[in-house]
A = this chain, B = another copy of it.
Amino acid sequence: MVKKKNILVVEDDKNISKLLRYNLEKSGFNCFSVITGEDALEFLDVSPVDLIILDVMLPKMDGFETCKQIRKEDNLAAVPIIFLTAKGEEVDRIVGFELGADDYVVKPFSPRELILRVKAIINRGKPVEDDRTILSVGNLVVDIARHKVLVEKKEVLLTMMEFKLLVLLLKRIGRVQSRESLLNDVWDISSDVTTRTIDTHIKRLRQKIGRSAGMIETVRGLGYRFKDDEE
């Protein structure tokens, strides 16, 4: 599981701030919010974030000024910033790079759009991992992009959890995975699933992959392991 990205929202309208926080959290980001530009600088001083959403119209120091101050800090100069602006506000200055904004969204905005833009920026430049990766061991073939699993050339239908579990075991082939680590990596960190539940999923997985079931080995007292290509 990838580490969650941190986002700082600088917005004086409580409602908007709350709306943003709600949506960002829902999309899997850690979200912090402050009211003023000064607060923002103070906050950033101690805990840098991965992206900043900055309202243009703020009490005292406005968004532009705040942005400029942020850019002054060496370790913050490269942090992506998305401006929130009311319609008709000085879009020109934002667009013109003068301030090094990475994007801007006009209020009233749709949360979905904002989230998309945030994701676009966060993921910018990152190759799409996993996509089109095909894992193949023994008579087992797993195509991640297609979400297909073949056992001896025949397709086997796996559910999400089974699929994830299988992929993880394959990626860490040969190494024992404790139930705890499987929980961490296959399930959400926050989920409160019993470790024994994993056994149930392993059972189902073994049933479905039939002939290859033996490839998933039980390591008593430790966890499970996908057998390294047999000899």
Contact = CB atoms under 8 A, between A and B. Distances in A.
Nearest to A90: B128
Nearest to A86: B125
Interface in A112-136: 112-113, 116-117, 120, 124-125, 127-128, 131-132
Interface in A124-157: 124-125, 127-128, 131-132, 145-147
Contact of A127 (B62, B87, B184): B87
Nearest to A101: B60
B189 A89 contact: no
Interface string A177-188: 000000110000
Contacts of A112: 183, 192-193
Contacts of A184: 116
A102 interface: yes
A125 B92 contact: no
A228 interface: yes
A75 interface: no
Copies of this polypeptide in the complex: 2
A50 interface: no
A160 interface: yes
Chain A contact residues: helix, strand, loop or mixed = loop
A61 to B, nearest CB: 8
A189 B38 CA distance: 32
A90 B127 CA distance: 7
B102 A60 contact: yes
Nearest to A177: B145
Interface of A: 38, 57, 59-60, 62, 86-90, 92, 95, 97, 102-104, 110, 112-113, 116-117, 120, 124-125, 127-128, 131-132, 145-147, 159-160, 174-176, 183-184, 189-190, 192-193, 219-222, 225, 228
Given A59-B103, A117-B189, 9 more contacts: A60-B102, A86-B125, A86-B127, A89-B128, A110-B190, A112-B193, A113-B192, A146-B175, A160-B220
